[in-house]
Amino acid sequence: MKRRQRQRLTRSVLYGLFALVIVGGAVLSDWQSISRAFLQPQIARDMFPRILTIAARNTIIFTISSFSLGLILGLLLALMKLSTIRPYRWFANVYIEIFRGLPALLTVLLVGFAIPIAFEGFRWRDCTIIPGCGTYGAGTVGLGIVAAAYMAETIRAGIEGVPKGQMEAARSLGMTRTWAMASIVIPQAFRLIIPPLTNELILLIKDTSLLFVLGTSDATRELTKFGRDFATDRFNGTPYIVVGIVYLMITIPMTRLVALLERRNRAAR
């Protein structure tokens, strides 16, 4: 009884402090300055519809394409890391160490500029299958390479998390190792790693904001760059706020969706 009272007391003190910080912050903030610098409705309105038709669209394109590339490369690296052949393991280890250690911005810059300078005749811009293909290509490869390094470790952990009995049972039924891996182990591994992969996806959404270093045209700008350009044009910070809200509009539904998938998965097991 006494303990519960004490708990209640500490909790209400904490709530009180929390409320005090928020109310204090709100009261002490210079709202006039804030709204002048960051909350101008007219500027926010002017950002539409291009913020959705160009900027958000490009953010999503870059995210999906680099996530797909990262997933394929990452799976390959995970399998190499689990391989019994030593050079494969070495390669995977070196790759993961390098690209997990380098800042993503640097990797993107190197992919975008160092590769064409190193290989005479190769230019990203020569890709013309779709408009902006060169920028999308360089961006996708740059971010995909980084994502693969992180995802490889996640996928490896997932594969190792599938009970050994699964593989043994499959082998005893006469399946080859490869076939058993592809049809029995990997699918189960992916079910295990949906939460960490979502994390990776959300990190990627935010990392697309680094792609401005590759140079952007009107049609290939992603959200952050679009917001920065708008802020520069108008000498006002409102676009940062609007862009931030759009990012949350993308990431929050996604995390909700994945949480739902996860719950279903758990129920199915």
The answer, yes or no, to whether the previous bond of 163 is cis (omega within 30 of 0) is no
Rank residues 50 and 234 by Cβ distance to other proteins and give the closer one: 234
* Exposure string for 30-42, b = 16+ CB within 10 A, e = fewer: eeeeeeeebebee
The residues near 228 (Cβ < 8 Å, ≥ 6 apart) are 212, 239, 240
Give CA separation, 232 vs 5, 8, 240, in Å.
55, 51, 11
Binding residues for other proteins, rule: CB under 8 A, are 27-33, 36-38, 109, 112-114, 116-117, 123-125, 134, 212-218, 225, 228-229, 231-237, 239-240
Rank residues 88 and 240 by Cβ distance to other proteins and give the closer one: 240
The residues near 220 (Cβ < 8 Å, ≥ 6 apart) are 58, 132, 135, 136
Rounded-to-integer distance, Cα 49 and Cα 187, Å? 40
Smallest gap from Cβ 29 to other proteins, in A, equals 8
Rank residues 168 and 233 by Cβ distance to other proteins and give the closer one: 233
Rounded-to-integer distance, Cα 35 and Cα 81, Å? 53
Strand locations in 51-210 (E): none
Rank residues 37 and 258 by Cβ distance to other proteins and give the closer one: 37
Smallest gap from Cβ 193 to other proteins, in A, equals 35
Rank residues 95 and 226 by Cβ distance to other proteins and give the closer one: 226
Give CA separation, 96 vs 7, 83, 147, 169, 202, in Å.
47, 15, 10, 32, 20
Rank residues 87 and 121 by Cβ distance to other proteins and give the closer one: 121
